[in-house]
Structure 1
Amino acid sequence: MQIEISAQKRTLQGKGASRRLRGSGKVPGVVYGGENPAQAIELDHNNLYHQLKLEAFHASILTMDVEGQKEPVLLRDIQMHPFKLQVLHIDFQRVDPNKKIHMKVPLHFINAEISPGVKLSGGIVSHVLTELDVSCLPKDLPEFITVDLADLAAGHTLHLSDLKMPEGVEIPALLKGENLPVATIVIPRSVAAEEAAAVVSAAEIPTTVQKKEGVAKEGEKKDAGKKEAGKKK
């Protein structure tokens, strides 16, 4: 998915200039990295705010158009107003196509509804991670990583080593020996309580039958004793 951002060069800087810029519906920002010096920029707030709602905007190579000059960039930092729906500042980093980048990409979970832990055991999928830090060349950067839960059973956990990664994409955590959990199946207390009650009930049935049989046999013995006593008389 190709996303392009339009921006203009920003000449006036400082808190006062940034405040006036925001008041006019603009967002101050900066583009840095690469061989060129950092460039202060300004962007239209409404357009930027709608683009920030796109998942791909946060995990894709973006095309930055600064007054007709285009270059690939990554979104690196956003500063939001504490309580208003307003972007206060935004940072972008230039991308070198020949150098690996580190980026957090979202995880998309599929087939949870057909996994044994959900379908057979009534469990609920617990997402331990919702995004993953990856390392790759810019051309190999995926918009998301698919996590297939089709074989996940109750009480089992899916780890980083279980993920199928796109070609050219690495997980830095695994290279450090950190095989972190990604997702697991949790059995709700209500379901566990019902299963426990069913087991207890099933275990009590033979005991009850034995007690009834024992009572019946005892009654038969008493009747036989009474008959013998009647004969002796």
Structure 2
Amino acid sequence: MKVIATTRKAQGTSASRRLRRADKLPGIVYGGHEPATPIELEHNPIFYALRKEKFHASILTMELDGKEELVVLRAFQMHPYKPQVMHIDFQRIAADEKVTMRVPLHFSGAEESPAVKVDKAIISHTVSYVEVQCLPRELPEFIAVDLSKMESGMTLHSKELAVPAGVEVVTDVVVASVIAPVEEEVTVAEGEEAAEAPAAAEAK
């Protein structure tokens, strides 16, 4: 995915306001062996890109003043109530250096698991992404999580996930767990008990 930006000459709160009124987005790109660079981008392409899962977990190509470099999205700020991105941060990366990134999880197979089919339990997804470390070219778009083998009482940890070669899961967290079904107790309402008492007396 490609991001087109230009170096932002004017800085400060007033300058950022003027940019936003012109449908521009202020931001910054930092890291690598170069100083942090204030940038400006077209607002709408970034606004719609942020809606895509891939934009948050991919190595991006930034064309800055006509020169291309690899970056990743690190942070962004939204307006409290308007559909507007206020600021965005990117980090430079090198093709031969490992990066640490959040990668989304795609769950499947829960309905086929013994926990759901046999025991009528529920499989809870406790996280929607995990942090991984790898070279930029090895970064997966997502990690598939197969829940079809889950049984009652089981929990699935991130370190147990099947990940591509060269990819390492950084932290060990619970990814999914089986929640046992709650048995509902059938109680007789007080009014029904009162009605049943005379009927029982008459029967005698």
Where does residue 125 of structure 2 map in the other structure? 127
* 1:168 and 2:160 aligned: no
Q: What code does the residue aligned with 1:86 have?
A: Q
> 2-side partners of 1:77 and 1:129: how far apart?
19
Q: CA deviation at 1:180?
A: 2.4
Where does residue 174 of structure 2 map in the other structure? 181
Where does residue 57 of structure 1 map in the other structure? 55
- Where does 1:1-12 land on structure 2 (aligned, <5 Å)? 3-12=1-10
SS at match of 2:184: helix
Where does residue 184 of structure 2 map in the other structure? 193
SS at match of 2:168: coil
Q: Determine which structure has the larger helix proportion and give its number.
A: 1
> 1-side partners of 2:40 and 2:54: how far apart?
21
- Of 93, 98, 104, which residue of structure 2 is paired with 1:100? 98
> 1-side partners of 2:88 and 2:164: how far apart?
29
SS at match of 1:161: helix
> 2-side partners of 1:80 and 1:161: how far apart?
33
Q: What code does the residue aligned with 1:123 have?
A: A
Q: CA deviation at 1:134?
A: 0.7
TM-score, normalisation: structure 1: 0.76
Where does residue 31 of structure 2 map in the other structure? 33
Quote the sequence identity (%). 50
Where does residue 20 of structure 2 map in the other structure? 22
Larger radius of gyration: 1
RMSD: 1.4
Runs of 4+ in 1 over 4 A off after TM superposition: none
User: How many residues are paired up?
Assistant: 186
**Bigger CA drift: 127-136 or 30-39?**
30-39
Q: What code does the residue aligned with 1:34 have?
A: G
SS at match of 1:193: coil
SS at match of 2:44: helix
Where does residue 84 of structure 1 map in the other structure? 82
TM-score, normalisation: structure 2: 0.86
> 1-side partners of 2:164 and 2:184: how far apart?
42
Q: Which runs of 5+ in 2 are unaligned?
A: 187-204
> 2-side partners of 1:63 and 1:150: how far apart?
37
Q: What code does the residue aligned with 2:134 have?
A: C
Q: CA deviation at 1:98?
A: 1.5
Where does residue 189 of structure 2 map in the other structure? none
